Chains A and B, each alone.
Chain A
Amino acid sequence: MVKLKKIRAFTILESMVAMVIVMIAFGLTSVTLINIASSGITKEKQQAAALAKLIRNETLQESRYLDETITFENMTIEKMIVEHPLSNDLKILQMEAYKDKEKLFESKEIILMNQEL
């Protein structure tokens, strides 16, 4: 006759405490992961930067120095040519990228205008 080995079961209290601990751990983890995913440099910000850079390069190559608003998918890039406070030969090329009114990226640089010869 085979003698069955007795396995000691957990008590309900024991199991519940363990479950609470695991749930707290899972909860904290998900909060942390969500925070990480939404903070820092998101993919959207990277995409906005790449798009702004592309438009900036095109502007310089084609000397297209005028204010423009470019919409790409659900992102808006605003390009502004601003007067330089100290010289008429210089302008400030300002790029800003938005998604749902949230500013994702911005850059500024001084450009030399093609002087009339």
Chain B
Amino acid sequence: MIRAGALLYAMFLVIVISIITSSIILVNYYNNFYVLGAFKQDQLFQDVYSGINYGLVFNQTLSLNQATKIDLFADAQHEVFLTKKSWGAFYVISSKATWRNKKASKTALIGANLNAGEKTAIYLAEQNKPLSLTGLTIITGDCYLPESGVKRAYIEGKSFVGQRLINGIKKNSNKNLPSINKELIDENYHRFMNSNNDSIIDYEVFLGQDSITNTFDKNTLVLYSPFTISLANKTIEGNVIIRSDRNIIIETSSNINNIICYAKGIIIEKNSNINAQFFAQDSIVVEENCQLNYPSVLAVLGKGNSTTQRKISIAEHVTLKGAVFLYNENYDRKNQALVSVGNDSKIMGQIYASEMLELRGDVTGGVFCNNFLLKTPSSVYQNHLMDVVIDRTALSEHFVGVALTETIQQHQIIKWLN
């Protein structure tokens, strides 16, 4: 029989060694787990960015409001879910990737790169009347004009004082304006009445709240009222739509960012400094000294007949970066739709007026209209421009706007939303 005295010491030593070893194994395991997690998180973010890039190029093939699974490298290792939804005149694209309990997502507001299309300064429909310029009018960029062309005019004691009538190539325009993007009109017109998968809440519920924020990874929050909505002393930001069956009034004290407003009529009070998209059925009025930051949109979508004149009225000293467009389905000779831009106002982007455009401010970008209107104290002139600067070449190569008249495949990020 062997006595077990020494074995006891040996067993004790073995236990100590095994405790130390298992501690080391545990530390190593957690270290590996942590580092692997960090690696995977990095990879998820790379996949998410890859997904956004993929979505920018294959934007047209992604179905609206539906998550599409994309295997980025066809290896089942890098899969993302892309979701595209329309956000006013733009699109919101979001990319999500998951691995075990780790998640990564990015959402971006995207638009069309205008420089991928035609760089048109003026498109004036053929109405058998030439474009007449007077005062200090500078037009830079290619122009589509009536066959009768462009000429100097002398009105209100002013004659044309520029060097050249047009600094660009003159092309002949058609009788009709290039038709406006139908999908853009239909998608937003539908929003006046319906809200897809959105959470609709009565605006009155939020009357007492100073601040409303909704992120783009949630359902759109629609604040609806059958009556006129007046936004004062409120901060509203993000994935929020404000819809009224009557009017929406944006008071100077309101602070709104990224949201969309749908109503019959919209009034933006003077000195407002906002960033939003506004869609009206009848009229939009922007009062003096307002600043509508990039990307802002003013749009009147007129379907059916109207007893009143459909118009977008931009007062003096207004700055808008984005797009202004008015679409009137049925032409009414007595009630022609009008876009007017006041003195010293600056529009950076595009203006599309399916009927008349009264332009007194400056445009860095392109202008599309059926005819120009110039009102002076003594008379009203058709197809006249006075003291106006339209410069298409000054629009940044990287300006991302709304594809109003052509299908632009090239989409770019306007801003990250998360």
Please report A residues at the B interface, Cβ cutoff 8 Å.
Answer: 8, 10-11, 13-15, 17-19, 21-22, 25-26, 29, 32-33, 36, 40-41, 46, 49, 53, 86-87, 89-90, 92, 107-112, 115, 117
Contact = CB atoms under 8 A, between A and B. Distances in A.
B377 interface: no
A87 B6 contact: no
A95 B120 CA distance: 42
A41 B32 contact: yes
Contacts of A90: 53-54, 57
Given A10-B3, A108-B78, A22 B14 contact: yes
Interface string B1-41: 01111110111011001101100110010011001100100
Interface string B392-418: 000001000000000000100000000
A107 B42 CA distance: 10
B13 A117 contact: no
Interface residues of B, number: 43
Contacts of B57: 87, 89-90, 112
B109 to A, nearest CB: 16
Interface in B107-121: 113, 115-116
Contact of B53 (A18, A26, A49, A111): A111
A17 B5 CA distance: 11
Contact of A14 (B2, B17, B35, B53): B2
Contact of B42 (A53, A86, A110, A117): A53
17 contacts: A10-B5, A36-B25, A40-B32, A46-B35, A49-B39, A87-B57, A92-B73, A107-B42, A109-B49, A110-B50, A110-B51, A110-B53, A110-B54, A111-B50, A111-B53, A115-B116, A115-B410
Given A25-B14, A32-B21, A109 B46 contact: yes
A8 B6 CA distance: 11
Given A49-B39, A117-B115, A15 B78 contact: no
B351 interface: no
Contacts of B331: none
Contact of B7 (A17, A26, A89): A17
Contacts of B9: 18
